[in-house]
Chains A and B, each alone.
Chain A
Amino acid sequence: MPQKTYIEAIRDGLREEMERDERVMILGEDVGAKGGVFGVTEGLQKQFGEWRVLDSPLAESLIVGVAIGAAMNGLRPIAEIQFQDFIMPAVDQIISEAAKIRYRSNGDWNVPMVLRSPFGGGVHGALYHSQSIEAIFAHIPGLRVVVPSNPYDAKGMLISAIRDPDPVLYFEHKRAYRAIRGEVPDGEYTVPLDRARVVREGVDIALFSYGMMVHASLEAADRLATDGFSCEVVDLRSLRPFDRAAIVASATKCGKVLIVQEANLAVSVASEVAAIIAEDCFDSLDAPVMRLGGPEIPAMPFSPPLEQFYLVTPDKVEAKLRELAAY
């Protein structure tokens, strides 16, 4: 199977789905001639023309609002928000409109739209090019929120998202674009939008994470394995809906749980996963549920020592795992 980077896998998914379905179009800032600021849509405007790969004005509410209208009139738009940090002007369109259109019309209308946006830090992006604000959207019924961690899932989940009849927020970690490689089949395949995946089996500690934190978790799990501790690593993949059964199964099996995320912890994805485990796995737990994430400061600062302070690294995951192992 061909090896591809994460960004190539996303681009393949976009191109193939646009070749198969002429309703699919892309709308966002710089997505055309430039191919996006990260190059995700490189070459697509040349192949599909200026309408289907449409450079939008610099206005995020417009990007999402226009995509919603186009979706209601038969297109399958993929809206790109250049950085997740700049999604705020579009939040009214996402939460008040896209998330509620099926519900408020009693099933009469729906919004088959994908919103792609890069998130996450570790690229010297400072406060406004580093954030992980997925929890805001994971709170909202009517949205789907997915975060693929590897190229295989990136392509398969993107195709599923485009074909889904409801709005899907598809968040891609910008550090994964070129750092993460993996096997990606040529041609059509789909990955479900509501299933977690066990990426490493183990019996002592269950580690739940998503996005780049899956890779930090795997590295830390490798290090503990040399000392005889067996960690199960679960890639959540979907943050709405959560795959409750998969979370409960791994937590029950291991009895000890660490949840790792890049975002700060208060009222977050980790909070919800911990709550699910508290509700459903109480009798199986051998230790308190532990969480590891960013500090409670407004966002990731610029200067390298400050950025490193914010980031969850394999070292930090390893330290937390050892604390949990010793409990």
Chain B
Amino acid sequence: MAMTRIETKARAGLDAETLRLMYRHMLRSRLLDERLWVLNRQGRAPFWISAEGHEAVQVAFGMNLRPAYDWVAPYYRDLALTLVLGMTPKDHILSVLQRAADPNSGGRQMPAHYGCRRLNIITTGSPVGTQLLHAAGIALASRMRGEDAVTLTSIGEGGTSEGDFHEALNFAAIHKLAVIFLVQNNGFAISVPWQKQMATQDVADRAKGYGIPGVIVDGCDAIACHRAAREAVKRARRGDGPTLVEAKVLRLTSHSSDDDQRRYRPAEDLESEKERDSLLRFKATLEELGVLHAGDAEEMRSELVLELDRATDEAEASPLPSPDSAMLHVYAEPEG
């Protein structure tokens, strides 16, 4: 199958309300992300791993799914995706502050190990790539029951070197399962550049080897991402099988709060990436299209900051887990 490159097409049939909502979702994720960095640098949160630079593609895919009907097997940078599906900033602040009420894990896992049963977002661990096979299994179950639910799973380009990546794509392709494999390629696996991860220019090239379509999209172009997402979801939903989507994104921050990318990336690269930030680009596009007017973005920002302030206060007032609760949930509690 041919590999296709999806480009921006004016507004791709999206109405003003949808475009504004996309921007709002992106901004909400970015502001939350920045807040979590602040909590980390203030010493109130031991760890954060960011989604900055990945928002556009995550929002585009999230908005094309049916929350709580479709399934998501996320990876650790999927902050914006979880927000679009219905998780809240407070949920993630609770996680970063390790509170008992954290819906992802009750403070058991590091932050950004997402999961929420109510929304069909499966729990994620730290080993890279294992979730792709879970996505294939989820889609197998949907297929066997005759449901048209779509399963989206994410991974970085580094994760595509794992054996589970190959095994999952192969299995989903054999059985034409309704899985979308979204590779968010930011060019770096911690410090290792993509050239040391693969000999091909594009991850999407590999789709040919599985007999499925491979799609490349500029992951900082929100409208192009929306088109790519719509196509992949449609294809999966109608039973035509999986798509491998490669979104070229930016990693605007270090790998995590424990990393300093200035040690392995030239300063000029880091500067030029800031100029390609999807939030700046999308805002400019929406202003050109007359969808956002002077002051709109600032108004949105103040609303969202207010939401974040409230969420931070509430999360900080929320209790830590009790020590003996560590013994719970190893197995199902005995009945009766």
Residues of A within 8 A of B (CB): 25, 51-52, 56-57, 59, 61-62, 64-75, 77, 89, 92-93, 96-97, 100-110, 141-142, 144, 164-166
Contacts and interface: CB of A to CB of B under 8 A. Distances in A.
Interface string B123-138: 1011100101111111
A68 B137 contact: yes
Contacts of A64: 133
A66 B139 CA distance: 9
Interface string B108-134: 110001011100001101110010111
Interface string B158-174: 00000110011011001
Contacts of A107: 328-329
Given A66-B133, A142-B331, A73 B105 contact: no
Interface in B164-190: 164, 167-168, 170-171, 174
Interface of B: 71, 73, 102-106, 108-109, 113, 115-117, 122-123, 125-127, 130, 132-145, 163-164, 167-168, 170-171, 174, 328-332
B130 A65 contact: yes
10 contacts: A25-B144, A57-B167, A65-B168, A69-B122, A72-B134, A75-B140, A89-B163, A102-B330, A106-B105, A109-B117
Contact of B331 (A62, A68, A75, A102): A102
Shortest beta-carbon contacts, A-B, top 8: A69-B137, A65-B133, A106-B106, A69-B134, A73-B141, A105-B123, A66-B137, A107-B329
A69 B73 contact: yes
A96 B127 contact: yes
B331 A57 contact: no
A93 B136 CA distance: 14
B332 A165 contact: yes
Most buried by B among A51, A70, A92: A70
A61 B105 contact: no
Given A96-B125, A107-B329, A65 B105 contact: no
Given A51-B144, A141-B330, A72 B106 contact: no
A69 B332 contact: no
A71 B123 CA distance: 13
Given A61-B163, A96-B127, A105-B115, 9 more contacts: A61-B167, A68-B134, A70-B137, A89-B163, A97-B127, A103-B329, A104-B108, A109-B115, A110-B332
Contacts of A92: 127, 130, 164
Contact of A101 (B123, B164, B332): B123
A226 to B, nearest CB: 44
A197 to B, nearest CB: 20
Given A92-B130, A96-B127, A142-B331, A62 B144 contact: no
A146 to B, nearest CB: 14
Contacts of B171: 56-57, 59, 62, 66
B230 to A, nearest CB: 24
Given A96-B125, A96-B127, A57 B174 contact: yes
A61 B115 CA distance: 22
A22 to B, nearest CB: 9
Contacts of B71: 73
A77 B137 CA distance: 10
A106 B100 CA distance: 9
B82 to A, nearest CB: 14
Nearest to B144: A51
A66 B332 contact: no
Contacts of B328: 106-107
B123 A108 contact: yes
B89 to A, nearest CB: 19
A100 B202 CA distance: 34
A239 to B, nearest CB: 15
A30 B248 CA distance: 40
Nearest to B335: A165
A26 B330 CA distance: 25
Contacts of B103: 108
Contacts of B332: 102, 110, 164-166
B133 A57 contact: no
A59 B170 CA distance: 10
A141 B329 CA distance: 11
Nearest to A95: B127
B108 A109 contact: no
B331 A166 contact: yes
B133 A105 contact: no
B140 A69 contact: yes
B141 A61 contact: no
Contacts of B105: 104-106
B125 A69 contact: no
A66 B136 CA distance: 6
